[in-house]
């Protein structure tokens, strides 16, 4: 039985699909914030890298720089692409009035797990970065 929470002339939407749609949009928004944060971190590095003189500090700067490049230039874009494709699949399901594609639900859980894992890593990155950069601020 389909539990109806929203009905239009085209769609009958299960609450679980609405929740998945909402969660996907939240993660898309988070990816934009991550990009902005990384641009800010890059500016902080650019402005303060010369204040670090020790070799170990220079290695840390390289580490942070490499992660900024990887995250903003590749990983976040890949995650955004997966999320947009995922939303297109949802639109296709709704357009065909087929809300029972099990693959979509499995894929959704995999993408959400991937995003949660990255979010955890990104939080750790930010903590490490701020701890490091505060030494010269």
Specify if 85 maps to a domain: yes
Question: Does 52 reside within a domain?
Answer: yes
Asked whether residue 1 is domain-assigned, the answer is: no
Q: Is 57 inside any structural domain? A: yes
Tens of pLDDT, residue by residue over 22-64, are 999 999 999 999 999 999 999 999 999 999 999 999 999 999 9
pLDDT of residue 1: 29
Contacts of 6 (CB under 8 A, 6+ apart): 12, 13, 18
Confidence at residue 15, expressed as pLDDT on a 0 to 100 scale: 72
- Domain of 130 in residue numbering reads as 6-136
**Is residue 49 domain-resident?**
yes
Position 14 scores a pLDDT of 67
In angstroms, rounded to a whole number, what is the distance separating the alpha carbons of residues 33 and 29? 7
Is 109 a domain residue?
yes
CA distance 131 to 125: 10
Instruction: Give the chain's domain count.
Output: 1
In a domain, 47, yes or no: yes
The CA-CA-CA angle for residues 43, 48, 49, to 5°, reads 100
Mean pLDDT of 87-114: 83
Domain membership flag for residue 118? yes
d(CA 135, CA 137): 6
- Residue 93: name the closest of 108, 77, 112 by CA: 108
- In this prediction, residue 100 carries a pLDDT of 67
For 4-15, how does the pLDDT look when each residue is reduced to its tens digit (9 = 90+)? 344 444 555 567
């Amino acid at each position: 039985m389909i539990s109806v929470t929203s009905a239009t002339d085209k769609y009958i939407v299960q609450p679980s699909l609405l929740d998945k749609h909402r969660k996907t949009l939240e993660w898309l928004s988070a990816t934009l914030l991550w990009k902005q944060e990384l641009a800010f971190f890059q500016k902080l590095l650019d402005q303060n890298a010369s204040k670090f003189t020790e070799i170990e500090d220079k290695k840390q700067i390289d580490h942070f720089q490499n992660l900024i490049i990887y995250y903003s230039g590749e990983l976040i874009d890949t995650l955004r692409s997966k999320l947009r494709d995922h939303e297109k699949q949802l639109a296709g399901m709704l357009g065909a009035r087929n809300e029972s594609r099990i693959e979509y639900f499995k894929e959704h859980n995999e993408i959400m797990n991937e995003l949660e894992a990255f979010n955890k890593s990104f939080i750790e990155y930010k903590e490490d970065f701020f701890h490091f950069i505060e030494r010269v601020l």
